[in-house]
Homo-oligomer: A and B are copies of this chain.
Amino acid sequence: MLRAKEIHLASRPHGEPTPENFRTVEIDLPELQDGQILVRNIVMSVDPYMRGRMNDVKSYVPPFQVDAPLDGGAVGEVVETRSDAFAVGDAVLHGKGWRDTAVLDGRSAMKVDLDKGSPSAYLGALGLTGLTAYVGLTAVAQFKPGDVVFVSGAAGAVGSLVGQIAKAMGASRVIGSAGSKAKVARLLELGFDAAFDYHDGSVTKQLAEAAPDGIDVYFDNVGGDHLEAAIASMNKNGRIALCGAISQYNSTEATPAPRNLALAIGKELMLKGFIAGSYQHLAGEFSEKMATWLADNVIEWDETVVEGIDNAPQAFIGLLRGENTGKMIVSI
């Protein structure tokens, strides 16, 4: 009988998650049924949205259950198959991360070509992370060439792509905020026109200095004071894509911002929340462009890799603390 290691949710975090909220469990895997495949995971993704699923609240994805395995994006290799659609050795993208080995229905896995991208790229630039950046900027925030773009959490997986895509598509100026001097330096290397560390003082003031002519588009990964700062700097008819609110994910109280939302009336601003899954119709257009940008080195792709399934909880906790540059990946 095959054994597998899974990470379970031991208890719901209150505020910042701690290692005690997670438990590593060894289980016996069942025999494969018709149509199923056995996958040895190579890499798995930890993402900010998972924090929301650890709370017992209804959201766009159902909450994780206590004493059950977590899940999320992963890429692995088929090691046994009872599905005609897959052969042993195929690389697949699927949703059963947070474990070293997974039994999957073949219909819930997608073959990927490792000649075109690394396993982790399919969790990142070529995957849902990249799609999030692309559709948020283009379809949600209605980016047009010449726009001044501000992105928060800019050294994160989504943020670093947003800024680079904006530059590639003709932004007149791209500004990023991040949480350390090293990240700010990295943003400037990636082609951001300006970047600042939000620890260095008022976000509103730093953004106003970085964007003397205001901003037209804001891609919000952070919420809170960043959103307030963006509204203050927004030009008439500005557009805001609400993608994440990482500043609030560990909050135990409601966040009293933005306090200046009424400015949206006179400035005729648009704010739009989105989840990338609603824009799958743009996945083809996105994949084509992203593959070209990566091949031409127009867009660079950073990863922070944590080794070992046992360290996945620590990778996730570190992600929420901003310990990553680019995509946080667990190598299994």
A: residues with CB less than 8 A from B are 52, 59-60, 223, 227, 236, 242-245, 248, 254-275, 278
List 26 interface pairs A-B (beta carbons < 8 Å), by A numbering.
A52-B266, A59-B266, A60-B266, A60-B267, A60-B268, A242-B264, A244-B265, A245-B261, A245-B262, A245-B265, A248-B262, A254-B259, A254-B260, A256-B256, A256-B257, A261-B261, A264-B273, A265-B273, A265-B274, A265-B275, A266-B273, A268-B275, A268-B278, A269-B272, A270-B271, A270-B273
Minimum Cβ distance to chain B for residue A129 (Å): 16
Q: A254-B259, A259-B254 are in contact. Are A274 and B278 (CB under 8 A)?
A: no
When all copies of this chain in the complex are counted, the total is 2
Is B270 touching A272 in the complex (CB atoms < 8 A)? yes
> Which of A236, A272, A273 gathers the greatest number of chain B CB atoms within 10 Å?
A273
* CA A274 to CA B257, docked complex, whole Å: 21
Beyond known contacts A60-B268, A258-B261: 9 more, CB 8 A cutoff: A60-B236, A245-B262, A255-B262, A256-B256, A264-B271, A264-B273, A266-B275, A270-B270, A270-B271
* CA A59 to CA B254, docked complex, whole Å: 29
**Chain B residues, CB < 8 A from A236:** 60
> Which of A59, A254, A278 gathers the greatest number of chain B CB atoms within 10 Å?
A254
Is A271 touching B271 in the complex (CB atoms < 8 A)? yes
Is B265 touching A259 in the complex (CB atoms < 8 A)? no
Minimum Cβ distance to chain B for residue A34 (Å): 36
**Chain B residues, CB < 8 A from A227:** 261
Option from B265, B267, B273 in Cβ contact (under 8 Å) with A243 = B265
* CA A242 to CA B256, docked complex, whole Å: 19
Q: Which residue of B lies closest to A244 (CB)?
A: B265
